[in-house]
Chains A and B, each alone.
Chain A
Amino acid sequence: MSLVGPLLLATFLFCVGVYGLIARRNAVLVLISVEMMLVSVNINLVAFQNLLFPAEAAVSGQMFALFIIAVAAAEAGVGLAIILNLFRNRASVNVDDVDLMRW
């Protein structure tokens, strides 16, 4: 199998994530965009491991992907808690509204 397919998919997902991060104003959607970027990293790691270094004994690429999945879950949990708390305080999760402090 060629490496081009998985890498294109990963790059596409990463770019969608970056776009979402910049364009979306809803904090939950921003969080989803970041998760999308993390998923693209996982695809990269697993694809490199399987197609370029199948003989590597430590399977470090796939192990790395597993760790990223676990950490991303923790991040999403904390992030949603923070967003929920923000919503309780000001009834909005729009990141543009979060501007009490400037300079």
Chain B
Amino acid sequence: MLIDWLAIAPEIALTVTALLVLFADLNLRGDAKQLVAPIAGLGTVVAIVFTAILWGDERATFGGMFVVNEYAVVFKLLFLGALLAILGISWRFFAEGRYYQGEYYFLLLTSFVGMIIMPSARDLLLLFVALETVSIPAFIMAGMRKRSLYSSEAALKFFLIGVLSVALMLFGISLVYGFTGTTDLAGIAAAIAAAGDVEPLLLAAVMLVVVGFGFKISAVPFHFWAPDTYAGSPLPVAAMLAVASKAAGFAGLLAIAFIAFEPLAEFWAPVLGVIAILTMTLGNLIALQQRDLIRLLAYSSVAQAGYMLIPFGLARPGATVVNDAAVQAVLFYLIAYAVMNIGAFGVAIAVHRRTGIRSLRDYAGLAQQSPLMAMGMTVFLLSLGGAPPTVGLWAKFAIVQAALTDVTMFAVVLMVFLVVNSVIAFFYYLKVVKTMWMDQAHEGMPALEPGFNLSLVVIVLMVGTVVLGVLPGLISDATSLTSLVAAG
């Protein structure tokens, strides 16, 4: 079998980088170990270049299991950009915190290899392997602080939930295989469409697969692990789980829902729509009561997953226009979400690393301490809420636009919940902003020293949030070209 090496060049570049990092960590001693972070960054840039070259191409390799098209390239650029930002915000955190640096960067890169495979996978087998490549390093990373009770608790909860979700998903996949006789996504869709009447057991199998992904994207009622895991893990790992790992889950869910199970959309779309409503409402309502900033961000990310599930509720079998619009809306939202959420975690890292605080009250007076960080956090939180002129507004707009392509009763209900939830969300986002700018600072707060990398990442993301808020076309021009189901 001929392999299209260019199509898998980004994955190869990242894998080689991961191995180099491991090798360098083995051979370097003392302070020289700090070199592993620049190596990882350099490898990521190489992978980004290889991915950018692929833009506009349509390639399929490994017997059609692995497809590169615009949709996959946009997703890969999203993941690799997130990787660069996470490398930037983790450097000082890990260099000063007496962590296992080499192992951390190796695991981080490995996890991202799985993520960039995910949007290209067109076979259940490859999707499963990619998902596990994302998850297994993440389990270890969550438990990175070996002596911390919180970290080991976070790792155990994340691990048990992770393997449970995979087991449920695999049972569903095995039944789907039994019904259709193939693991190829397009083949499954063809077999389901050809079968005509729908077996209840097949629907149960589809639901098992959806539940498995529901855990990955922390949708209600499968969300309870997320706040504990985010709060217990090292903060850069929490940022990675909240953004990249969730985006990978969405990439897999998009492929499964809109390619393989597309003929069954009239059954799963209402279910996912209801899950979307539950997820955003519960996520926001619980976030209102959080006193700890990381847990607040965790519940806010649960709510954000709810917004991103809305387009799934709009899907209908055979309606290509609606489905394409839904996929594009999810993609747009994921990009915007990555920009603003990594930024928010970056500020949280800067504050936590210096002062060891994470409770909301201690953010009082951050604006006097470090105007840059306070400004950044304000922009990111406003964007997460969806205020103009930030990219968050356009992300919500993209979802509304998808709903408007073909208005149904259910779409209207979803939009009502979207609007109501945006209002609820503003309450707790603005509470943080008020604490930072208006409350009096505590005595004896040490000065923040975010360091060059973290400041750069926060500034870039802050500027990005605003610029994309003024010129949303920069993303939507790219996402509107993407179609999940490519010819060839």
Q: Per-residue CB proximity of B213-247 to A under 8 Å, as 1/0?
A: 00000000000000110011000000000000000
- Which of A48, A83, A90 has most B Cβ within 10 Å? A48
CB distance from B28 to the nearest CB of A (A): 24
Q: Is the CB of B60 closer than 8 A to any CB of chain A?
A: no
B171 in contact with A61 (CB, 8 Å): no
Q: Per-residue CB proximity of A41-57 to B under 8 Å, as 1/0?
A: 10011001000110010
B174 in contact with A82 (CB, 8 Å): no
B227 in contact with A101 (CB, 8 Å): yes
CB distance from B149 to the nearest CB of A (A): 5
For B172, the closest partner residue in chain A by CB is A41
Q: Per-residue CB proximity of B139-179 to A under 8 Å, as 1/0?
A: 11001001111101111110110011011101101110110
Binds A, one of B128-136, B336-344, B372-380: B128-136
Q: In the bound complex, how far is the Cα of B180 from the Cα of A53, in angstroms?
A: 10
Contact A41/B159 with A67-B125, A101-B150 known, Cβ cut-off 8 Å: no
A83 in contact with B156 (CB, 8 Å): yes
Q: In the bound complex, how far is the Cα of B325 from the Cα of A88, in angstroms?
A: 51
Q: Is the CB of B51 closer than 8 A to any CB of chain A?
A: no
B152 in contact with A89 (CB, 8 Å): yes
Contact of A89 among B124, B147, B166, B173 (CB under 8 A): B147
Nearest 9 interchain pairs by C-beta = A44-B174, A37-B167, A48-B178, A41-B170, A101-B228, A53-B181, A86-B152, A60-B183, A34-B163
Contact of A75 among B136, B228, B289 (CB under 8 A): B136
Q: Which of A5-52 contact B (CB under 8 A)?
A: 10, 14, 17, 21, 27, 30-31, 34, 37-38, 40-41, 44-45, 48, 52
B232 in contact with A82 (CB, 8 Å): no
- Note all chain A residues with C-beta closer than 8 A to B148: 89
A56 in contact with B181 (CB, 8 Å): yes
Q: Which of A47-87 contact B (CB under 8 A)?
A: 48, 52-53, 56, 58, 60-61, 63-64, 67-68, 71, 74-75, 78-79, 81-83, 85-86
Q: In the bound complex, how far is the Cα of B183 from the Cα of A85, in angstroms?
A: 37
Known: A63-B125, A81-B140. 18 other contacts (CB 8 A): A41-B171, A53-B181, A56-B181, A60-B177, A60-B183, A64-B173, A71-B128, A71-B129, A74-B132, A75-B132, A75-B136, A78-B140, A82-B152, A82-B156, A86-B156, A89-B152, A101-B231, A101-B232
A64 in contact with B183 (CB, 8 Å): yes
Contact of A79 among B128, B159, B183 (CB under 8 A): B159
Contact of B159 among A21, A38, A82, A100 (CB under 8 A): A82
**What interface size band does chain A fall in?**
35 or more
Q: Per-residue CB proximity of B172-198 to A under 8 Å, as 1/0?
A: 011101100111000000000000000
For A53, the closest partner residue in chain B by CB is B181
A61 in contact with B177 (CB, 8 Å): yes
- Count, A-B residue pairs, CB within 8 A: 120
CB distance from A59 to the nearest CB of B (A): 11
A67 in contact with B136 (CB, 8 Å): no
Contact of B149 among A52, A78, A89 (CB under 8 A): A89
A82 in contact with B155 (CB, 8 Å): yes
Q: Is the CB of A98 closer than 8 A to any CB of chain B?
A: yes
For A55, the closest partner residue in chain B by CB is B181
Q: In the bound complex, how far is the Cα of B428 from the Cα of A65, in angstroms?
A: 47
- Note all chain A residues with C-beta closer than 8 A to B35: none
CB distance from A58 to the nearest CB of B (A): 8
For B148, the closest partner residue in chain A by CB is A89
CB distance from A97 to the nearest CB of B (A): 9
Can you list 27 contacts pairing A with B, beta carbon distance less than 8 Å?
A17-B167, A38-B170, A41-B174, A45-B177, A48-B178, A56-B181, A56-B182, A60-B183, A61-B177, A61-B183, A63-B125, A64-B124, A64-B177, A64-B183, A67-B129, A68-B128, A74-B132, A75-B166, A78-B139, A78-B140, A78-B159, A82-B139, A82-B152, A83-B156, A90-B152, A100-B153, A100-B232
A85 in contact with B155 (CB, 8 Å): yes
- Which of A14, A27, A44, A52 has most B Cβ within 10 Å? A44
Q: Is the CB of B271 closer than 8 A to any CB of chain A?
A: no
CB distance from A101 to the nearest CB of B (A): 4
Q: In the bound complex, how far is the Cα of B171 from the Cα of A37, in angstroms?
A: 8
- Note all chain A residues with C-beta closer than 8 A to B228: 101
Q: Which of B458-482 contact A (CB under 8 A)?
A: none
Q: Is the CB of B445 closer than 8 A to any CB of chain A?
A: no
CB distance from B160 to the nearest CB of A (A): 6
CB distance from B180 to the nearest CB of A (A): 9
- Note all chain B residues with C-beta closer than 8 A to A61: 177, 183
Contact of B150 among A27, A74, A100 (CB under 8 A): A100
B160 in contact with A27 (CB, 8 Å): yes
Q: In the bound complex, how far is the Cα of B160 from the Cα of A21, in angstroms?
A: 9
Q: In the bound complex, how far is the Cα of B159 from the Cα of A52, in angstroms?
A: 34
